[in-house]
């Protein structure tokens, strides 16, 4: 079954009150229009043409990797938007789906059903319909005496009888491509809004003797469009619940699903527990038996099996099996906790490897560093990796013990098995099994404090 799709993404979305075009606004870390394109791809659509217009310099980068973009220079209606695709789809002869780029809830299954229905009936067009208790603002589907679709009437053009109809146009269609582009040449703008309506194509096809069908949507929430920040939040809540339910059905525990947000490309293993206020975004992966949260945000991060990630922000990081992180830890890009490693409370790690079984327990910064296995980094220790112009590396060998409040000024190498005394500022390499110490000698003056208090009393 060969199918193509047109994604309408040219509108401004003035009700969003934003400098950003409507379709570029994100839900769960993904732009609205990408939800629609990805659903079409998942439905088996091979060729996707995206119609851009308003602020297209922001929209094209979201689409150019896997769709062909065409420009609607004049915002003159949905028929005008589809018509600009005629050249891009000039050689296509098959099922052509028209999708709204501001409707992120549409599923691949519904798109596939729409295509299959057109193939089954060989209709010129199949419109996805929805039954609404409050149909105000939507185009009404008017049927003839035999129950077939006669036409679609927009709200502003509807008579009182037509406005009472509850079966509405969702804005999703599947056309016979050749019938669509032939009919578009006959569409005019003789209506209340002075626009070229795509819905007029249905009546034109019927007049030409081609049948037009409607397919009822199983879940009307799939057809919800986003035209305001309020609707953006509502769409986000629908998608949050849809994604969370799928993960819970697959064996993930959430004690409060309304306080867990998971992006559409996240992969989670069985028996993972997600605690409240957990955000998993981008291409994050979480292995089996791990506990994430509370208050954790992981983006494009890989977590192994049996890990504990508590109150942690991690971006483009890697946490191997059995590692622990947090509370209140920050793993920046290229941070890597190896098997059984630990990044503890108030620890920041950037572009560094913490070896197997090694620990950075608390109040430390590790940057541009390679830490071997079974290393202990004392509290308050820092790798001083930046000289104001360039980042420099630090290497700490297996089994080393770094005392608390140690500054390691890069570039510097600390050998395997060595000990660094607390309070040291290490600026030179320390060989294996040595003691590195820069602490000044302690001086004690007996009775000094008592004499000071006596002087203060006499003053």
Annotated binding site: 8-11, 22, 72, 77-78, 100-102, 139, 154, 169, 227, 332, 350, 365, 376, 379, 385-386, 404, 422, 439
Give the Cβ contact number of residue 21 at 10 Å.
27
Single out the residue of 300, 269, 279, 275 nearest to residue 236, CA to CA: 279
CA distance 118 to 210: 12
CA distance 62 to 417: 51
Q: Concatenated DSSP letters for 84-110?
A: TTTTTTTT--SEEEEEETT-TT--HHH
Please name the residue ranges forming H helices in 43-95: 56-63, 78-83
How is residue 358 annotated by DSSP?
-
Q: Concatenated DSSP letters for 359-425?
A: EEEEEEEEESEEE-TT-EE-TT-EEE-B-SS-B--EEE-TT-EEPSS-EEESSEEE-TT-EE-TT-E
CA distance 314 to 308: 13
Q: Which residues are annotated as a binding site for Mg(2+)?
A: 102, 227
Q: Strand pairing partners for 280? A: 262, 298
Query: What kind and span of H or E run contains 216?
Result: strand 212-216
* Catalytic entry in 25, 247, 336, 362: 362
Cβ-based burial of 235 (10 A; exposed 0-12, middle 13-18, buried ≥19): buried
The size of the chain, in residues, is 459
CA distance 301 to 332: 10
Pair type for strands 376-377 and 394-396 = unpaired
Single out the residue of 28, 8, 3, 15 nearest to residue 278, CA to CA: 28
Q: What is the dihedral of CA 322, 326, 332, 333, to 10 degrees?
A: 20
Q: Is 90 helix (H, G, I), strand (E, B) or coil?
A: coil
Q: Strand pairing partners for 59? A: none
17 HSE (CA, 13 A, CB side): 5
CA distance 180 to 173: 11
CA distance 104 to 243: 13
Q: Is residue 54 annotated as a catalytic residue, yes or no?
A: no
Distances (CA, A) of 166 to 47, 142, 152, 162: 34, 10, 12, 9
Catalytic residues, by residue number, are 362
């Amino acid at each position: 079954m060969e199918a193509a799709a047109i994604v309408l993404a040219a509108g401004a979305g003035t009700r969003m009150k934003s400098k950003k075009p409507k379709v570029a606004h994100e839900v769960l870390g993904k732009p609205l229009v990408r939800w629609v394109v990805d659903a079409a791809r998942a439905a088996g659509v091979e060729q996707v043409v995206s119609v851009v217009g308003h602020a297209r310099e922001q929209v094209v980068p979201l689409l150019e990797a896997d769709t062909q973009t065409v420009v609607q220079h004049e915002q003159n209606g949905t028929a005008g938007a589809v018509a600009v695709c005629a050249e891009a789809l000039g050689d296509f002869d098959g099922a052509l789906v028209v999708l709204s780029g501001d409707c992120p809830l549409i599923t691949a299954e519904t798109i596939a059903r729409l295509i299959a229905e057109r193939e089954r009936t060989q209709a010129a067009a199949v419109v996805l319909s929805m039954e609404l208790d409050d149909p105000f603002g939507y185009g009404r589907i008017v049927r003839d005496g035999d129950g077939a679709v006669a036409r679609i009437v927009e709200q502003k053009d509807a008579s009182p009888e037509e406005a009472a109809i509850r079966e509405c146009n969702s804005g999703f269609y599947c056309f016979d491509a050749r019938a669509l582009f032939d009919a578009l040449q006959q569409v005019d703008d003789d209506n209340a809004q002075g626009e070229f309506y795509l819905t007029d194509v249905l009546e034109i096809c019927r007049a030409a003797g081609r049948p037009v069908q409607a397919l009822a949507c199983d879940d009307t929430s799939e057809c919800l469009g986003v035209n305001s920040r309020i609707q953006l939040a509502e769409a986000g809540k629908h998608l949050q619940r849809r994604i969370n339910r799928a993960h819970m059905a697959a064996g993930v525990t959430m004690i409060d699903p309304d306080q867990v947000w998971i992006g559409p490309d996240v992969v989670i293993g069985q028996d993972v527990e997600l605690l409240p206020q957990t955000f998993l975004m981008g291409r994050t992966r979480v292995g089996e038996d791990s506990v994430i949260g509370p208050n954790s945000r992981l983006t494009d991060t890989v977590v192994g099996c049996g890990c504990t990630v508590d109150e942690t922000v991690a971006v483009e990081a890697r946490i191997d099996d059995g590692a622990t992180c947090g509370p209140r830890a920050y793993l920046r890009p290229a941070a890597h906790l190896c098997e059984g490693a630990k990044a503890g409370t108030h620890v920041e790690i950037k572009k560094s490897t913490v070896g197997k079984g090694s620990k950075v327990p608390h109040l430390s910064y590790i940057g541009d560093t390679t830490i071997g296995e079974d290393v202990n980094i004392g509290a308050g220790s820092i790798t001083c990796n930046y000289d104001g112009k360039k980042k420099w590396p630090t290497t700490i060998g297996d089994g080393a013990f770094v005392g608390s409040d140690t500054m390691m000024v890069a570039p510097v190498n600390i050998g395997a098995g060595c000990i660094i005394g607390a309070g040291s500022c290490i600026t030179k390499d320390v060989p294996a099994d040595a003691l590195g110490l820069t602490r000044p000698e302690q001086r004690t003056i007996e009775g000094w404090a008592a004499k000071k208090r006596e002087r203060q009393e006499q003053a």
